[in-house]
Amino acid sequence: MRILITAGPTREYLDDVRYLSNASSGQMGYALAHSAIQAGHEVALVSGPVRLPPPEGCEIYHVETTDEMYAQCETLFPECDGVIGTAAVCDYRIKTRKPGKIAKTGEAITLELVETIDVLAELGTQKGHRWVIGFALESQDARFNAVRKLYSKKCDAIVLNGVNAIGSTENYVEVIDQSQETVATYSGEKSQVAESLISWVQAHIAGK
C-alpha cells in the first residue's frame, strides 16, 4: 500500500514571528510511518515542525500551517490507498494575520480566531474507494466524541487516545470502527503501538 500520514502540530501565525500551535511531538505519526515502511508499504509523511528525523525510506513533506498541510495532502491523497491522520492540527487561526511584528502597547489585546480547515474531514469527503483513519484526543466523554468524529470525518476507524499521550513515549489506544465498538486496544511504547496499529489496518481496513 501507499499510505498518507499526517503528523506533528501545525502553526497559525498572529504576525511574522508569533504563532498558535499544539503540544505535539509527532512521535505517534513518525512511529506509524516507520512501522508501515518496515511492513513493506510506501509512506508519504506530511509533517508539521517536530524535532524528529524522518524514518528511513519515507517520503517527507514539511509544512507549517494548516492550509499548507491540507494543500500537500490534497495533492498526495489521490495516489494513496488511505490516510492516517495523527497530526495535532491547530484548530484556530487568526482571522487577519498582521505583517511584521505586533508591538506591545501595555494594554490587553483581543485576537479574533476562526476555525482552520479540517484536513481529515476534507479528505474524508474525497475518499472514494480509499480508507481514512483518524486519531481522537479526548479529555472527557471520550467514546461519545470519538464516535462523533468517526462519522463527521467519514473515517473507517478512529484511534482514541488519552491526553496523557502528549509528549510521552508511551500510549494507550482504543480502535473504534464503524460498528461503534472498540475492536482493538494496544498499550506500550508508541513504537510497539504503531506496529500493532499497522498490522490491524492491514488485516481489517486495507482492500475494503
Residues involved in catalysis: 22
> What x-and-dash track marks residues 83-122 binding Ca ion by CB under 5 A?
--------x-------------------------------
Q: Among residues 31, 80, 87, 197, which is the contact residue for ligand CTP, using CB under 6 A?
A: 87
Q: Which is nearer to ligand CTP, 74 or 102 (CB)?
A: 74
- Read off the DSSP letter of residue 129: T
Closest CA to 164 of 140, 146, 139, 187: 139
Count of residues binding ligand CTP (CB under 6 A)? 16
Q: Among residues 118, 156, 177, 195, which is the contact residue for ligand CTP, using CB under 6 A?
A: 118
Mark the segment that binds ligand CTP (CB under 6 A) among 44-52, 96-104, 128-136, 199-207: 128-136
DSSP string, 26-56: -HHHHHHHHHHHHTT-EEEEEE-S-S-PPPT
Q: How many CB atoms lie within 10 A of CB 51?
A: 7
Q: How many CB atoms lie within 10 A of CB 102?
A: 14
Q: Which is nearer to Ca ion, 101 or 164 (CB)?
A: 164
74 binds Ca ion (CB under 5 A): no
- What is the spatial distance between Cα 198 and Cα 3, in angstroms, rounded to a whole number? 10
91 binds ligand CTP (CB under 6 A): yes
Helical spans, DSSP H, in 85-129: 119-125
Contacts to Ca ion by CB under 5 A: 91
